[in-house]
């Protein structure tokens, strides 16, 4: 029997009613496959067993060490796993909660944003051989030294994909609170449509540009082994989005833009430098890398280095470059808005259309960058929603 990994997000396991839905899906899945379940912490920010609640609890005690913070952050998924395993057993399905460590997820030691190094799925295989459904606590693993680590926001998706790869799964299913991957975040664009079939590379771009419906690393992992990734709703019967690598050349003719994504909470940094042979440039980017500050929308010219960072990293930028005495200015409260589409490659006039859409909606473009699947613009955060809506409309994403 093939294996299917089913991942349920926080809102999908938050209530009895929803856990009943999950039970039903596990039961249905078991008719044809061995099922491995991966869960996130129950609920969202503000809920009693959500990860943020635990973080706040710890912060009340003082300024926590990263090591301790990861132990606390791993709790939400552990609770969730035990509750869902119990719920499944209650309805006659053999199930057991499994920690990230038990599931064999070995990571590096980057607390809070650890990378999976390898997966040793023997324990899971043992459970499956006994007809038990493992309910794995997502978002966490352990370093080879035995420290508990977490995988960063959205990390349960990565857990699911990594287990899918390690177990040679037939399919990785991501169950969430929307009916699939849509042309834009429906919270910003009510007219957004579900996309039934997408290519890994497009979804990877969308996720990297801020569409938090699935984690980019999960897409990358599934892509490496060509395992289909399906994003669908826990509640509804809709078929969701099937992500494979067969879509590109069949369906994309005539459609340039597939989706719009957005990322708030970024700041633009501009550093004035004396023109030199590149030594200073190297020094700037080397120091930022060492401080683990990730930079994006990078524009380098002889007199100026411009890029964006997450706003929380702005003080670090000033700190690590202080002794170089460059003039640094930053613009807070920015957002990156991107259009993504495999059909955009080599099509002229896309930028002109973006500029037109922004002019018509009165949004100022602060900076741009592009790759072959994506064009990103930086705008003020207050304009973000308008920009996303305008692009969605301008590129006719609400039509089939």
Q: Work out how close the CB of 206 gets to ligand ADP at its nearest, in angstroms, rounded to a whole number.
A: 6
Quote the least distance from Cβ 330 to ligand ADP, whole Å.
26
For residues 141 to 180, the per-residue mask of contacts with ligand ADP, x marking binding by CB under 6 A and - elsewhere, is -------------x---------------------xxx--
Shortest distance (Å) from residue 394 CB to ligand ADP: 17
Which residue number, 176 or 367, has a Cβ lying nearer to ligand ADP?
A: 176
Q: Residue 358's closest CA among 389, 382, 322, 397? A: 389
3-state SS string for 126-160: HHHHCCCEEEEECCEEEECCCCEEECCCCHHHHHH
- C-beta of 339 vs 350, nearer to ligand ADP: 339
Residues 4-23 that bind ligand ADP (CB under 6 A): 9-12
Give buried/exposed letters for 367-390 (b at 16+ CB in 10 A, else e).
bebeeebbbbbbbbbebbbbbbbb
Handedness of CA 338, 343, 346, 349 (dihedral sign): negative
- State which of residues 34, 77, 185, 202 lies at the interface with ligand ADP (CB under 6 A): 185
Least Å distance, CB 40 to Mg ion, is 7
Is residue 182 involved in binding ligand ADP (CB under 6 A)?
yes
**Sole window of 3-11, 111-119, 245-253, 366-374 interacting with Mg ion (rule: CB under 5 A):** 3-11
Which range binds ligand ADP by CB under 6 A, 91-99, 211-219, 309-317, 373-381?
A: 211-219
Only segment of 77-85, 119-127, 208-216, 326-334 that touches ligand ADP (CB under 6 A): 208-216
* Closer to ligand ADP by Cβ: residue 184 or 284: 184
Q: Does 138 bind Mg ion (CB under 5 A)?
A: no
CA torsion through residues 378, 383, 389, 395, sign: negative
Q: Is 155 in the site for Mg ion (CB under 5 A)?
A: no
Q: Which of 181, 198, 242, 334 binds ligand ADP (CB under 6 A)?
A: 181
Among 48-56, 78-86, 97-105, 206-214, which window interacts with ligand ADP (CB under 6 A)?
206-214
**Which of residues 104, 154, 155, 343 is near Mg ion by CB under 5 A?**
154
Nearest residue to 308 via CA among 340, 362, 265: 265
Total of residues contacting ligand ADP (CB under 6 A): 19
What character string, x for contact with ligand ADP (CB under 6 A) and - otherwise, covers 246-285? -------------x--------------------------
Q: Of 398, 396, 387, 5, whose CA–CA distance to 210 is shortest?
A: 387
Binding map of Mg ion across residues 95-134, x = CB under 5 A, - = no contact:
----------------------------------------
Q: Which of 27, 30, 212, 255 binds ligand ADP (CB under 6 A)?
A: 212
Picked from ligand ADP, Mg ion, none, the partner binding residue 344 (CB below 5 to 8 A depending on kind) is: none
Q: How far is CA 359 from the centre of its chain?
A: 30
Residues composing the chain: 400
- With contact defined as beta carbons under 8 Å apart, do 294 and 310 qualify? yes
- Site residues (vs ligand ADP, CB under 6 A): 9-12, 40, 154, 176-178, 181-182, 184-187, 211-213, 259
Q: Using CB under 5 A as the criterion, which residues of the chain lie in contact with Mg ion when the complex forms?
A: 9, 154
């Amino acid at each position: 029997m093939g294996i299917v990994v089913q991942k349920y997000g926080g809102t999908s396991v938050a209530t009895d009613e929803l856990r009943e839905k999950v039970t039903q899906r596990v039961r249905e899945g078991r008719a044809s496959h061995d099922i491995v379940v991966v869960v996130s912490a129950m609920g969202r920010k503000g809920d009693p067993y959500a990860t943020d609640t635990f973080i706040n609890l710890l912060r009340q005690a003082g300024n926590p060490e990263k090591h301790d913070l990861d132990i606390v952050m791993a709790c939400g998924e552990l609770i969730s796993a035990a509750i869902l395993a119990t719920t499944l057993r209650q309805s006659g399905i053999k199930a057991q909660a499994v920690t990230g460590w038990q599931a064999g997820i070995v990571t590096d030691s980057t607390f809070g944003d650890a990378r999976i190094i390898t997966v040793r799925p023997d324990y899971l295989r043992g459970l499956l051989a006994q007809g038990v459904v493992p309910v794995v606590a997502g978002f966490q693993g352990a370093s080879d030294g035995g420290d508990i680590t977490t995988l960063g926001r959205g990390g349960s998706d990565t857990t699911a994909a990594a287990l899918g790869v390690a177990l040679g799964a037939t399919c990785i299913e991501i169950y969430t609170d929307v009916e699939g991957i849509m042309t834009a975040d429906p919270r910003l664009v009510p007219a957004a449509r579900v996309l039934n079939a997408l290519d890994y590379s497009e979804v990877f771009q969308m996720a990297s540009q801020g569409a938090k419906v699935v984690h980019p690393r999960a897409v990358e992992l599934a892509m490496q082994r060509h395992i289909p990734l399906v994003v669908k709703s826990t509640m509804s019967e809709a078929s969701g989005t099937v992500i494979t690598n067969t879509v590109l050349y069949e369906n994309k003719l005539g459609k340039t833009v597939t989706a719009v994504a957005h990322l708030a909470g970024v700041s633009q940094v501009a550093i004035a430098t004396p023109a030199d042979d590149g030594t200073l440039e190297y020094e700037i980017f080397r120091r930022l890398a060492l401080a683990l500050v990730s930079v994006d929308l990078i524009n380098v010219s002889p007199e100026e280095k411009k890029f964006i960072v997450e706003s929380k990293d702005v003080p670090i930028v000033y700190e690590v470059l202080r002794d170089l005495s460059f003039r640094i200015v930053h613009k807070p409260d920015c957002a990156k808005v991107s259009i993504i589409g495999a059909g955009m490659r080599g099509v002229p006039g896309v930028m002109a259309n973006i500029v037109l859409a922004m002019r018509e909606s009165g949004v100022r473009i602060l900076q741009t960058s592009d790759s072959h699947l994506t064009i990103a613009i930086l705008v003020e955060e207050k304009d973000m929603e308008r920009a996303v809506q305008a692009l969605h409309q301008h590129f006719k994403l609400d039509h089939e």
